[in-house]
Amino acid sequence: MRLILLGPPGCGKGTQAQRLTDKYGIVQLSTGDMLRAAVKDGTPTGLKARDIMARGDLVPDEVVVAIVAERIDQPDAKNGFILDGFPRTVPQAQALDRMLEEKGLKLDGVVELKVDEGILHERIRKRVDEMMARGESVRADDNPEVLEKRVHAYRVQTAPLVLYYREHGTLRTVDGMAPIPDVSAAIDRVLAPPPATAARKKRTRRASQVRKAKAGRTERVAGAGRKSGKKAAARRAPRRKKAAARRLPARKKASGSRRTSVGAASRKSRRKAINKGRGRG
How would you classify residue 120: left for phi > 0, otherwise alpha for psi between -120 and 50, otherwise beta? Answer: alpha
Applying CB under 6 A, among 26, 64, 95, 151 the residue interacting with ligand AMP is 64
Applying CB under 6 A, among 81, 86, 164, 165 the residue interacting with ligand AMP is 86
Residue 127 is a catalytic residue: yes
Neighbours of 133 (CB within 10 A): 8
Question: Of 20-28, 58-66, 124-132, 200-208, which segment contacts ligand AMP by CB under 6 A?
Answer: 58-66
- Minimal distance in Å, beta carbon 25 to ligand AMP? 23
Residue 13 is a catalytic residue: yes
Q: Which of 55, 127, 166, 212 is catalytic?
A: 127
52 lies in the binding site for ligand AMP (CB under 6 A):
yes
Paired strand residues for 175: 114
What crossing angle do the helices spanning 61-71 and 90-102 adopt, rounded to 10°? 30
Question: Measured between alpha carbons, how far apart are the two ends of the chain, in Å?
Answer: 99
Residue 226 is a catalytic residue: no
- Minimal distance in Å, beta carbon 191 to ligand AMP? 21
The DSSP output letter for 157 is: I
How would you classify residue 216: left for phi > 0, otherwise alpha for psi between -120 and 50, otherwise beta? Answer: left
150 lies in the binding site for ligand AMP (CB under 6 A):
yes
Residue 88 is a catalytic residue: yes
Site of interaction with ligand AMP (CB under 6 A):
9, 31-32, 35, 52-53, 56-59, 64, 85-86, 88, 92, 141, 150
